[in-house]
Amino acid sequence: MRKVVVDMQNALFADAISTALKNFNSDFNVYQSEKPDKTAELCFYVQADILIMEVTAYAPRRMEERMKLRDEVKAGHPGCKVVLVVDENTEQKLADRVRQAKKSGLIDNFVYGSVSATYLSAVIDAL
């Protein structure tokens, strides 16, 4: 079983991602973080293989805060893959920063919020 932690602002979006992952591959065991300040603890507790986090222009999901959370998770569980989700339509500059984080090797992958659930699931499965 691969363990995936999902940290999204919108609970409906988080539910949709969780459902899509489970339907794509029953090997995924998906956990939803209730709050960003609980995400690292959840990753450590379940020994997450993958952390999916939404990045927004607002606290507590800004890029800087997400990178601090990434650092915390990687320090305690270096094998955990980090994937960021960003809305490339409304947050173009932020999407550029997320893409640059991938190019710089700071994150393992990213996806735009406009992709299909099947594509997101395939990206996560390929990690």
Residue 40 predicted with pLDDT over 90: yes
The mean pLDDT value for 41-59 works out to: 97
Cα–Cα distance for residue pair 18/32, rounded to 1 Å: 8
Q: pLDDT over 70 for what percent of the chain? A: 100
CB-based burial, 14-25: b 16+ in 10 Å, e otherwise: beebbebbeebe
Q: What is the pTM of this model?
A: 0.95
Residue 26 predicted with pLDDT over 90: no
Tell me: the pLDDT tens digits for 57-89? Answer: 999 999 999 999 999 999 999 999 999 999 999
Which domains, and CATH codes, for the chain? 2-126 (3.40.50.2300)
Mean pLDDT, the chain, whole residue set: 95
